[in-house]
């Protein structure tokens, strides 16, 4: 099996990539570096969920933040990374495409630095597993950043496996977040949920009205 560094954003999104990569002959080691996740409590519960699952399936997990106990020294501390995220990503606010591109870049840069320091040759990411992410942008950033660090990027389109990952993570009782990670995505997701709820209410009211017309006829 060929060692591979797999930057992971959460447990549920890691299920299919790990299984798929193992089928290809890679043995993934998960790299955790996600300063975008807010609040701190949310960050911790996602990490705890990932660690519990990874222990079950024998996948090592290395935190990429300097000072996190993993021995990585080429990256910043979590506090420093969060500050860097606020400076580089937060100014984009609700401009989703620009914000997500900047977020991918900062996280993958940290992961690639750590992977290079740890002696990996290959690197991949779970960031674009979800169909809600910007797959082409994420893949391009991984390609560019990995090569700049002397790494070989392994890009795969796991989006078709997302429904399977959803089913399996639910069966496992894994914590499943309802927004990507940052406060902007949380607000956007909340708005989208309200819009879907309102649309369902309108559709229900329309069906009732139509049924009433038929009954009167």
The structural domains of the chain, with segments of one domain joined by +, span 2-178
- Per-residue confidence at 208, pLDDT binned at 50, 70, 90? confident
Average pLDDT of the chain to the nearest whole number: 95
76 has a pLDDT exceeding 70: yes
Whether cis (ω within 30° of 0) applies to the bond prior to 39 is: yes
pLDDT above 80 for 18: yes
Determine the 3-state secondary structure of 4 from DSSP: strand
Other beta carbons less than 10 A from residue 95's beta carbon: 12
Q: What is d(CA 108, CA 149) in angstroms, rounded to the nearest whole number?
A: 11
Residue (of 80, 34, 42) closest to 61 by Cα position: 34
Return the percentage of the chain with pLDDT > 90, whole number.
88
User: Would you place residue 209 in the very low, low, confident or very high pLDDT band (cuts 50, 70, 90)?
Assistant: confident
Q: What is the CATH number of domain 2-178?
A: 3.40.50.620
- pLDDT given at position 175: 98
Q: For the chain, what's the residue count?
A: 217
Q: Report, as an integer, the average pLDDT of 87-91.
A: 98
Query: For 3-26, what is the mean pLDDT?
Result: 98
Q: Could you tell me which residues are beta bridge partners of residue 125?
A: 7
Residue 149 in this model has a pLDDT that exceeds 90: yes
| Residue whose C-alpha is closest to residue 115's, from 32, 193, 38 | 32
d(CA 193, CA 209) in angstroms, rounded, equals 24
Residue 124: pLDDT over 80: yes
**CA distances (Å), origin 105, targets 36, 98, 100, 154:** 11, 11, 8, 16
| Spatial CB neighbours of 120, under 8 Å, sequence gap ≥ 6 | 3, 4, 5, 29, 151
The rounded percent of the chain whose pLDDT value lies above 70 is 97
Q: Positive or negative, the Cα torsion across 43, 69, 66, 21?
A: negative
What is the distance between the alpha carbons of residues 70 and 83, in angstroms, rounded to a whole number? 21
Q: Which of 206, 176, 171, 203 is nearest to 189 (CA)?
A: 176
pLDDT in tens, 27-75: 999 999 999 999 999 999 999 999 999 999 999 999 999 999 999 999 9
The SS3 call for residue 128 is coil
Window from 128-132, 196-200, 209-213 with minimum mean pLDDT: 209-213
The reported pTM is: 0.92
């Amino acid at each position: 099996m060929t060692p591979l560094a797999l930057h992971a954003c959460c447990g549920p999104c890691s299920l299919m990539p790990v299984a798929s990569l193992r089928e290809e002959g890679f043995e993934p080691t998960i790299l955790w570096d996600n300063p975008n996740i807010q609040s701190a409590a949310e960050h911790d519960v996602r990490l705890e969920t990932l660690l519990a699952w990874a222990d079950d399936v024998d996948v090592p997990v290395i935190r990429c933040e300097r000072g996190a106990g993993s021995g990585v020294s080429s990256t910043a501390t979590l506090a420093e990374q969060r500050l860097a995220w606020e400076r580089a990503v937060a100014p984009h606010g609700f401009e989703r495409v620009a914000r997500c591109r900047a977020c991918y870049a900062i996280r993958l840069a940290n992961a690639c630095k750590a992977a290079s320091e740890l002696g990996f040759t290959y690197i991949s990411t779970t960031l674009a597993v979800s169909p809600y992410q910007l797959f082409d942008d994420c893949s391009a950033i991984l390609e560019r950043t990995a090569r700049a660090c002397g790494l070989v990027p392994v890009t795969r389109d796991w989006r078709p496996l997302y429904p399977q990952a959803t089913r399996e993570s639910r069966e496992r009782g894994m914590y499943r977040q309802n927004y990507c990670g940052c406060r902007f995505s949380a607000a956007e997701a909340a708005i989208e949920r309200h819009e879907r709820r309102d649309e369902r209410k309108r559709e229900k009211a329309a069906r009732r009205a139509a049924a009433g017309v038929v009954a009167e006829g």
